[in-house]
Structure 1
């Protein structure tokens, strides 16, 4: 039996927070009559750390949260009060796990949405680790697939039609790709006919989505077996 969760998160669900987008400008020579080229860099944080830990996120000693801490299987858009820059450090704090930091090493010179995913480093430690993905603006729907599951169980992620009967497309972990508009199912399977976790997925043109395999198996005890979808 599978022991993971799938967190499906799309930009559409955070559209109301569009005013949070920050802009960075390309420097121009003083006195130039040209206007600076502005790029929108939006930061979103996802909590894939199994359990009840909620993460506070700070930058430069100041909170960049829009409200409550980021709960497990939740993504939030950060409230940046200044443009995101290379070298910026995001500090993550929770009640029962060691504090950790994520450094932004580079940013693209185009409009983009950056997802930072905090997850457990391993079954034998409470320490956290990070994965990230940068989405460029595109006309088609985009999907990034990340694996944050802690344990030895193997599984494959599949893209099926809305009925789940056609399973012809494997979604390799650690990849990103375009998806035609339409209604699908995301299926997490260990290869057996019975052991499958399914999530409905609607791809909308111009939107970006992140799919996370998450969960924990520790000492043969499964601590997460829920399928969660958030659009």
Structure 2
């Protein structure tokens, strides 16, 4: 039994009338969690809504971080049952099905992250390289930079853990190529996405080595994402 967790758990409930309390949480693939406490009293259940729950969650998070790299000790689900006499029953376990679900949920919205990240990076790159037209207010003071594109296409091809990319920007119907290098963190994210979807999620995801994002220069609508996002496999890149 973790004495610090036990002490904090009892402290949280000191003003409550209860017969048993249960702390539960599940961890996502990126390490975030959704803690909750269920209080049982006289046969009834209620959720504890105090902010103190996060103090308890922090203690559990410390344990999570200390073992997450150990395949024998790691966990992504927690259930701690506490009784008024201080007796505590702990269960920390790894749920493979939950891990796959978490990774699939993250992979399913990767296109949104890469679209938003590329939009931000393109703006920074063009601004820093004086490729944007400044707009001034009526007093002659700088107001904002005029957008250089209405929509665009971002294409990423993966070959032997290397990424070839092509950025096409369209303004008033005219297209141009932007020779902007990809930051390392974007390359790393794409390669990680490729690795997870082609291996750990291979039962849920078709193999691919080309990702094409048709960016509307705005968020991609979740309901119509397939109109903007294409994953495909080019055998010549294998």
TM-score (norm 1): 0.22
Higher strand share: 1
Which protein shows a greater Rg?
2
Which structure would you say has the larger RCO, counting Cα contacts within 8 Å and 6 or more residues apart? Answer: 1
TM-score (norm 2): 0.22
